Structure 1
Amino acid sequence: MAFSAFLAGLALASPATSEPASLAEFEAHLAAYTSATEALQQWCHLRHIGEGPIRAGTVGAQSDDPPEKMRRILRLGGDRPLAMRNVRLSCDGTVLSVAWNWYAPERLTSAMNAALRDSDVPFGKVVGPLHFRRETLDVTPGPAETCPRDTVSTHRSLLRLPDGAPLAYLIECYAAANLAPH
């Protein structure tokens, strides 16, 4: 865990978790982590939202962004595969976010592709061994795109491999449940 993530955790470790969290606290916590999955896992623990692992339940809906745009962003030629995963990330039944994730399956191992296809393990957890870095492109307060109505913040991000190659493009819609008192 990065030192900034450690500090973000300390700031939230007070026993007053029955109070609602501010959006600024939540955004600072997310920004302290390379992986949104890891940030949400720690947030759940600190806010007593749940103790279980973050799970990615497949939604299956498509976003309005056309595949050609994603191919350009991910630097994929027309004949190279492009995959998309639309999921609800939750902890012990509480939905924390809805995410659209376009990625280059050829930049993952076959075991990673199988896990993304066949399990409820979140993308960040599956591809963590690739040591990606997260580049936040845009943060919008409230819902954007096709986010659910209870979205408090929408993030657009690009995950890059250590050599700079783009791995995934994400739209993440963070739910109001993240700020609710627990």
Structure 2
Amino acid sequence: MRRGAAAACALGLGGSLLVTPVQAQAPAWRDDATSRLEVLALLQTLNADLLSHPSATLTLERWCGAHHLSAEAKVVAERVRGQDKPLPDDARKQLGIGADEPVRYRRVQLACGEHVLSEADNWYVPSRLTESMNHELDTTDTPFGKIVQPLHFRRQTLAAELLWSPLPQGWESGTPLPASQGALAIPHHVLQHRAVLFDQDNRPFSLVVESYTADVLAFPQPALGGR
């Protein structure tokens, strides 16, 4: 889904529909060499910021505020229900749990204002959280990172991947840059992280896969190079 397009996603579940809010129209980036360099620099900056902080939620709030994506730089979690995913094959080993240990699943969209910045799949071990944390996770849309902050957790990144690069492989050696002279086409998902969260006693309690969307770039293109 192209950034800035009005979007409404419906999920059929037992005859009911879950509809996400329509997103605001975002300014388009031009498809030229300078724009592609700018976009790559921004994605690498966001990636480095996410890798250097334990909470993706708080990092996205800072990003939202710095780029004025919303009047209020506050990230909220919009629960996506009815799309439970099985635990990945290697997850029990990564979480340090046995075959019979209960694991819960939570899928959220992290949004700042009308912009969905991240879609996160989260498998967590309820026995390693407090009763109040589990209750809040079950009954509210509060972001996971904010709920478990009292654990003073740290984050170990297992993988960080740019899902799309605005520059072709070998561009630095003279490979021609694609350019349409129109709007730059940016795919829905641009960056993905896979990480395990550890509490202050170094116990793993959560596996998260975060897919960041093109809306992290939903702000006016900077006027560089005399433009």
Where on the TM-score scale, by shorter chain, does this alignment land: which range? 0.7 to 0.9
Q: Which runs of 5+ in 1 are unaligned?
A: 1-17, 144-148
1:96 paired with 2:134, answer no
Asked whether the 8 Å contact 1:26–1:179 carries over to 2, the reply is: no
Match of residue 107 from structure 1: 128
Structure with bigger gyration radius: 2
8 Å CA contact 1:29–1:43 kept in 2: the answer is no
Q: Offset at 1:151? A: 0.7
Counterpart of 2:68 in structure 1 is 48
1:166 aligns with 2:188: no
Equivalent-residue separation in structure 2 for 1:66 and 1:159 (angstroms):
16
Equivalent position of 1:136 in the other structure: 157
Equivalent residue, structure 1, for 2:49: 29
Provide the secondary structure at the position in 1 that maps to 2:92: helix
Q: Encode CA deviations 1:139-172: one digit per residue, 9 max, x unaligned.
A: 11117xxxxx511101001111122211111100
Q: CA deviation at 1:55?
A: 1.1
Describe how 1:60-99 pairs up with structure 2 within 5 A. Answer: 60=81, 61-63=83-85, 66=87, 69-99=90-120
Q: Is the 8 A contact 2:69 2:218 kept in 1?
A: no
Q: Of 156, 165, 182, which aligns to 2:194?
A: 156
8 Å Cα contact 1:83/1:105 also seen in 2: yes
* TM-score scaled by length of structure 1: 0.79
SS at 1:56's partner residue?
strand
Cα RMSD after superposing both structures: 2.1
TM superposition outliers: structure 1 runs of 4+ over 3 Å: 18-21, 65-69
Q: Which runs of 5+ in 2 are unaligned?
A: 1-28, 30-34, 165-186, 221-227
- 1:45 and 1:134 mapped to 2: Cα distance? 23
Bigger shift: residues 69-78 or 170-179: 69-78
Deviation at residue 179 of structure 1 after TM alignment: 1.9
After superposition, what is the alpha-carbon deviation per residue over 1:83-126, rounded to whole angstroms, capped at 9, x for unaligned?
Answer: 11011110112100000011111111111011111111100000
2:163 corresponds to which letter in structure 1? G
